[in-house]
Amino acid sequence: MPYLLIALLVAMLVVGLTWRGLGSQGDGSGGNGGTPRPRPRPRPTRPVAPDDDADFLNEIDRKLRGGGGEDKS
């Protein structure tokens, strides 16, 4: 009988803490006094590298295959 009482108390504690934790997520206040988390900074955009450019890749392909009659350096 005492084990049943302890199990019920532990279950009520777990449900209560879970309920409290889930309830504070919706309003944005969190459980830390209402201070919002800082937003992560956006990652800086990188310039497009030559190997990402489709025209550059096509030009290299033409040079390697020997087509186009252009400079084959």
Helix (H, G, I), strand (E, B) or coil at 59: helix
Distance (Å, whole) CA 8 – CA 12:
6
- Phi, then psi, of 8 in degrees rounded to 5: -65, -40
Distance (Å, whole) CA 55 – CA 58:
5
Task: Output the pTM of the full model.
Answer: 0.32
Domain residue spans of the chain = 2-66
**20 neighbors 12 (Cβ within 8 angstroms):** no
* The Cα angle at residue 7 between residues 4 and 13, in degrees rounded to 5: 140
**26 neighbors 34 (Cβ within 8 angstroms):** no
Per-residue model confidence as pLDDT tens digits over 13-64: 999 888 887 776 655 544 555 577 788 888 777 666 666 778 888 888 899 9
